Amino acid sequence: MRILLQFPEGLKREALKYQEKYEKEGHEIFIASAPCYGGCDLPLDEARWIKADKIVHFGHAKFVKKDLPIEVEYIPYNIDVNLQAIKKAAMQLKQYNNIGLATTVQHVHQFEEMKNIFELQSQHVFAEKGYWAINVGQVLGCDSLGLKAVEKKVDAFVFVGDGMFHALAIDFETDKPVFVIHPQTGQLRQINEEIKKLKKKRKGSILAAVEAKTFGILVSTKVGQFLLGSARLTKKELEKRGKRAIILVSNEIEPLPLNNFMLFDCYINTACPRIVDDVEEFGKPILSIEMLREVFEIIDKIKNK
Ligand code: SF4
């Protein structure tokens, strides 16, 4: 079989090991080398060019829900958390009776063990499955719906994971404390201030977009991010409000080639929703469709005054 292997950036160093493994099994192996950001981002074009029979995607759980032109096998990459360290951190959170717990796909295989730590302290743990997540308690950078679903039942949210990308997926309205526990060191931090800052940044983009005249609507051809229908609707809605709008299509969404057009006052992003958090790199407001709805509300209110 001709197989195209794909690794996210943090796992690319494993490529040779897996190439050897599959070759020993008699397969012809190619490696996709372009950046890979998530389970949404499959190398379908590369697979078509090399006439691959299958893609093996490492490091993420199944994401894409639509039918694909090629078989795709998702192989998650489990990394064990330090349960003793989590236990120590959990002891500092004993005052919260009801916990909304979540982690990333790398650690979700130990979700029950982490849940037990809190339950042994007589706490109740709540978790649901989000929209894109395939596991209960799993958060993706674009999917914290599993936590949002339990918001009313909990006194605090606890996210076990490294870095801030997944933790800041918790961007829904909540006055509950949000804590992050580092999966290896057990370091505990509260991140409500960071969430507030992110929201403030997004609000700034919304207000700046009200005055914008020319909009670039960004569509990514990454299979799990491709939303051409939304882009078309967005264009119509902008034009109804007297704005100029152009749909821009590319695989990667990068600020420099976009800014080289020197045309746009504002971008509307229909691809990975977290791109809007890189607003500084774009140098101008960049909004999700949800954020644009708020812009429309403001524009419509001004018009109807
Ligand atoms: S859309 Fe963005 S946040 Fe969601 S899986 Fe893809 S890269 Fe990650």
Strands (DSSP E) found in the chain: 2-6, 28-32, 54-58, 71-75, 98-103, 124-126, 156-160, 178-181, 188-190, 214-220, 244-250, 266-269, 286-288
What CATH topology corresponds to 2-75? Rossmann fold (3.40.50)
Atom of ligand 1 lying closest to residue 165 CA? 3
pLDDT, one tens digit per residue, over 65-96 is 899 999 999 998 999 999 999 999 999 999 99
- Indicate the residue type of 281: E
**Confidence (pLDDT) at 173:** 83
**Confidence (pLDDT) at 303:** 87
Determine whether the shortest distance from the Cβ of 39 to ligand 1 is under 6 A: yes
d(CA 99, CA 250): 41
- Is a pLDDT exceeding 90 seen at residue 305? no
**Confidence (pLDDT) at 166:** 93
Sign of CA dihedral 87, 88, 89, 91: positive
pLDDT, one tens digit per residue, over 264-303 is 999 999 999 999 999 999 999 999 999 999 999 999 999 8
Average predicted confidence (pLDDT) for the chain: 96
What band does 171 get if pLDDT is binned at 50, 70 and 90? confident
Whose C-alpha lies nearest to ligand 1, atom 1? 272
Encoding tokens for residue 164?
């801030």
pTM, full prediction = 0.93
Q: Which of 40, 218, 278 gets mutated to test ligand 1 (max ligand atoms within 8 A of its CB)?
A: 40
Whose C-alpha lies nearest to ligand 1, atom 5? 38
Domain borders along the chain are 2-75, 83-190, 199-303
Determine whether the shortest distance from the Cβ of 274 to ligand 1 is under 6 A: yes
CATH of domain 83-190: 3.40.50.11850
Long-range CB contacts (< 8 A, 24+ apart) of 232-235? Answer: 234/268, 234/270, 234/289, 234/292
Comparing CA positions, the residue from 141, 137, 151 lying closest to residue 107 is: 137
Q: 3-class SS at 232?
A: helix
pLDDT above 70 covers a percentage of the chain that reads 100
Q: Which of 225, 252, 276 gets mutated to test ligand 1 (max ligand atoms within 8 A of its CB)?
A: 225
Q: Thinking of the domain 199-303, which architecture would CATH place it in?
A: 3-Layer(aba) Sandwich (3.40)
Q: Terminal CA-to-CA distance of the chain, rounded, Å? A: 65
**Confidence (pLDDT) at 78:** 95
pLDDT, one tens digit per residue, over 190-229 is 999 999 999 999 999 999 999 999 999 999 999 999 999 9
d(CA 106, CA 36): 16
pLDDT, one tens digit per residue, over 45-72 is 999 999 999 999 999 999 998 999 999 9
Contact present, 246 and 215 (Cβ < 8 Å)? yes
Q: Do domains 83-190 and 199-303 have the same CATH topology?
A: yes
pLDDT, one tens digit per residue, over 96-108 is 999 999 999 999 9
